[in-house]
């Protein structure tokens, strides 16, 4: 860097008086030209060799003088931002380099100035010229790395972005070879690998950074987030938990909370976010994380209080009003839900999230025509004539279609609901799976059992690797009188792994519908054995209570429902069963 990061051989003062003295010294150092004798008489042409230009003499004093002027103009550019000052600085750098062409320091300074003043092409060319002469020039590599990073921010997507990403990676790979002990460089290279979806290399760089500086919060949290995004939240929690409590910051607790959230361990997430807030009471992101996990844990009123704190601190946060509205909608306070959604809509009139949530409230109120109109408008607004959607756009359209189909179904228009759900089938496998499930449920609600079974069979043929749809099809076969065939298909999915929990639950439900109670009880016992999380066990207790209720074993059913309520006092379904009994 011209100021601060590179040190010259001696300190310089930029006062004009010093510059004048320096110029005088430069002149004084030049020896007067001596009068040389004329060349001897010319030899015959045959003996005369072509004269070779003498190598240019390095003039350190002149280079120093012009560098000092360049530096002075450069500082003035930083202060005043005037283009003519930048041009003067560039000209002085050129004269300094002309006086000392061997100086990598001067060429690096000129390249840096080009970058600062937006002459990126010139900066890249200067840096590349330096690296041709000196491949291990750290400052040139760092300059190119910074330029490519800035360019990545300017380029949104496409081949250009990918090419620039590769160029940035190449520079930082060289940087860590020259400077292997820089934690920041390893972290940056790891992030670039992550963007390039080279997750193994990203993990290696993050681990190297953590090894170089074991107490680096940035290294710990970055590695943990990588594991979380890879779906390995257990390893993420291990990395974060390895940091002693006394060394944990608000940021680390927030990342720990997010990690627990991904594991669906909401109570642990709540505890982590509370600790983050205790260390940093103004951390709205931590408060938002706390509110989200309170909602996940069924503590709606406590979540509402946290969202109100956010709204007071940041009244322009539209998303907070959307979340408040969701809590009111779940609690049946539809007028308050609409009031908060109107606030959000006034802040973000082009949002697609706000109208979607308005449609959900209208559906809950039975205003089906209003809900359908909003969703139809959203689909039209997000429609592309060429059907060339990104996956994120497909997911949005799938969400709109799913809600629209359910609105039609609630309004007793099964045919229109099925037509709407079928539009989800072309939007990717996950969306297709949900679409098929909704079609099957719609046929079942309309008591069209054969159509439901035919759709389940079609779904399995189209998505043969979807275990959930295989179990749906098997359940349909059992309900259509082919009980043993359906049960055998589900049993074939057992692998002796924790994932078997879902299979055992499906078996229990099938046996319950067949009134084979001992088999249903045995399946629920096995499901409980492979249930590691509290909410998983809670669901098994609920199914057990439901099974007892169907057998008119009310005391045992009540015991199970109360067991559910002991950990989830607001569980509406359990409360409804108890109230009914």
How many other CB atoms are there within 10 angstroms of residue 246's CB atom?
Answer: 5
Q: What is the spatial distance between Cα 131 and Cα 140, in angstroms, rounded to a whole number?
A: 7
pLDDT value for 541: 94
* 3-state secondary structure (DSSP) of residue 171: helix
Q: Helix or strand or coil: residue 216?
A: coil
Calpha distance 80→345 (Å, rounded): 42
**For residue 20, what is the enclosing H or E element?**
helix 16-29
Rounded-to-integer distance, Cα 73 and Cα 84, Å: 9
Q: Are 401 and 423 in contact (CB under 8 A)?
A: yes
- Cα 533 to Cα 263, 266, 413, 489, 537, distances in angstroms: 9, 10, 39, 27, 7
Dist. CA 167–CA 147, nearest whole Å: 10
Spatial separation of the C-alpha atoms in residues 509 and 520, rounded to whole Å: 7
DSSP designation for 496? S
34 Rama sector, left if φ>0, alpha if ψ -120 to 50, beta otherwise: beta
Question: Residue 287 and residue 294: Cα distance in Å, rounded?
Answer: 10
CATH number of 1-26+59-179: 1.25.40.10
Rounded Cα distance between 137 and 430, Å, is 50
Q: What pLDDT, on the 0 to 100 scale, is given for residue 153?
A: 64
Q: Which two tokens stand for residue 498?
A: 């924790």
Residue 243 sits at φ, ψ, to 5 deg, of -80, 125
Planar angle of CA 148, 149, 151, nearest 5 degrees: 60
R_g of the chain, CA atoms, integer Å: 35
CA-to-CA separations, 578 to 508, 513, 543, 570, in angstroms, rounded = 21, 21, 14, 12
Q: What is the pLDDT at residue 8?
A: 31
DSSP string, 256-303: HHHHHHHTT-HHHHHHHHHHHHHH-TT-HHHHHHHHHHHHHTT-HHHH
Distance between CA atoms of residues 267 and 577, nearest Å: 26
Count CA atoms within 13 Å of residue 313 on its CB side.
14
Q: 3-state class of 434 per DSSP?
A: helix
The pLDDT of residue 160 is 60
Range list of β-strands (E), 40-141: none
CA distance 45 to 246: 89
Q: Count of alpha carbons within 13 Å of 321, Cβ hemisphere only? A: 22
Place of tokens 């107490």: 215
Contacts within 8 Å (CB) and 24+ apart, 309-315? 310/284, 313/282, 313/284, 314/284
pLDDT of residue 139: 83
Give the 3-state DSSP-derived string for 345-365, with helices as H, strands as E and coil as C.
Answer: HHHCCCCCHHHHHHHHHHHHH
Which pLDDT does position 346 carry in this prediction? 96
* 10-residue mean pLDDT series, the chain (581 residues): 36 35 35 36 39 58 83 80 80 79 74 74 81 87 84 59 89 94 95 93 95 92 93 91 90 94 91 96 95 92 96 96 96 96 96 97 97 97 91 95 98 97 94 97 95 96 94 94 95 93 96 95 95 88 94 92 85 78 70
**What tokens does 547 get?**
């099974």
DSSP structure class, residue 497: S
Residue closest to 175 by CA, chosen among 212, 209, 141: 141
Query: To which residue do tokens 């601190």 refer?
Result: 313
């Amino acid at each position: 860097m011209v100021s601060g990061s590179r040190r010259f051989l001696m300190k310089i003062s930029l006062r004009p008086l010093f510059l004048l003295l320096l110029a005088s010294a430069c002149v004084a150092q030049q020896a007067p030209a001596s009068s040389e004798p004329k060349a001897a008489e010319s030899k015959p042409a045959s003996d005369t060799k072509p004269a070779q230009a003498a190598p240019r003499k390095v003039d350190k004093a002149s280079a120093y003088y012009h560098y000092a002027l360049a530096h002075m103009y450069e500082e003035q550019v930083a202060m005043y931002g005037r283009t003519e000052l930048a041009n003067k600085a560039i000209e002085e750098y050129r004269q300094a380099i002309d006086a000392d062409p061997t100086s990598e320091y001067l060429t690096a300074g000129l390249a840096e100035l080009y970058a600062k003043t937006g002459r990126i092409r010139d900066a890249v060319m200067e840096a590349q010229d330096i690296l041709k002469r000196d491949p291990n020039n750290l400052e040139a590599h760092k300059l190119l790395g910074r330029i490519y990073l800035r360019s990545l921010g300017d380029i949104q997507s496409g081949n250009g972005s990918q090419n620039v990403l590769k160029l940035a990676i190449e520079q930082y790979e060289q940087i860590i070879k020259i400077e292997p002990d820089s934690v920041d460089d390893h972290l940056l290279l790891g992030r670039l690998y992550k963007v390039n979806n080279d997750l193994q290399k990203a993990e290696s760089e993050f681990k190297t950074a953590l090894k170089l500086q074991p107490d680096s919060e940035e290294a710990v949290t970055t590695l943990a987030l990588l594991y979380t995004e890879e779906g390995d939240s257990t390893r993420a929690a291990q990395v974060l938990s390895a940091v002693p409590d006394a060394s944990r910051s608000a940021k680390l607790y927030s990342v720990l909370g997010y990690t627990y959230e991904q594991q669906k361990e909401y109570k642990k997430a709540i505890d982590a976010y509370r600790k983050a807030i205790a260390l940093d009471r103004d951390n709205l992101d931590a408060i938002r994380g706390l509110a989200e996990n309170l909602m996940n844990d069924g503590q709606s009123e406590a979540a509402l209080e946290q969202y109100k704190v956010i709204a007071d601190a940041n009244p322009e946060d539209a998303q907070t009003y959307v979340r408040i509205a969701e809590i009111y909608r779940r609690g049946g306070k539809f007028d308050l839900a609409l009031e908060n959604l109107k606030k959000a809509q006034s802040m973000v009139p082009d949002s697609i999230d706000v109208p979607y949530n308005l449609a959900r409230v209208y559906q809950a109120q039975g205003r089906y025509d209003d809900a359908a109109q909003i969703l139809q408008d959203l689909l039209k607004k997000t429609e592309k004539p060429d059907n060339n959607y990104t996956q994120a756009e497909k997911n949005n359209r799938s969400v709109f279609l799913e809600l629209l189909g359910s609105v039609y179904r609630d309004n007793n228009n099964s045919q229109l609901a099925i037509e709407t759900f079928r539009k989800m089938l072309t939007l990717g496998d996950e969306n297709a799976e949900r679409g098929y499930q909704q079609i099957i449920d719609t046929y079942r609600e309309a008591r069209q059992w054969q159509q439901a079974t035919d759709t389940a069979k079609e779904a399995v043929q189209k998505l043969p690797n979807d275990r959930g749809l295989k179990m749906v099809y098997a359940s349909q076969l059992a309900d259509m009188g082919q009980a043993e065939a359906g049960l055998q298909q589900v049993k074939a999915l057992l692998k002796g792994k924790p994932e078997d929990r879902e299979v055992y639950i499906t078996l229990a439900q099938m046996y319950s519908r067949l009134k084979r109670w001992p088999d249903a009880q045995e399946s629920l016992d096995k499901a409980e054995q492979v249930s590691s999380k509290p909410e998983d066990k809670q669901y098994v207790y609920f199914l057990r209570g439901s099974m007892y209720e169907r057998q008119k074993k009310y005391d045992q059913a009540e015991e199970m429902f109360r067991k559910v309520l002991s950990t989830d006092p607001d569980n509406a379904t359990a409360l409804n069963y108890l109230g009914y009994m």
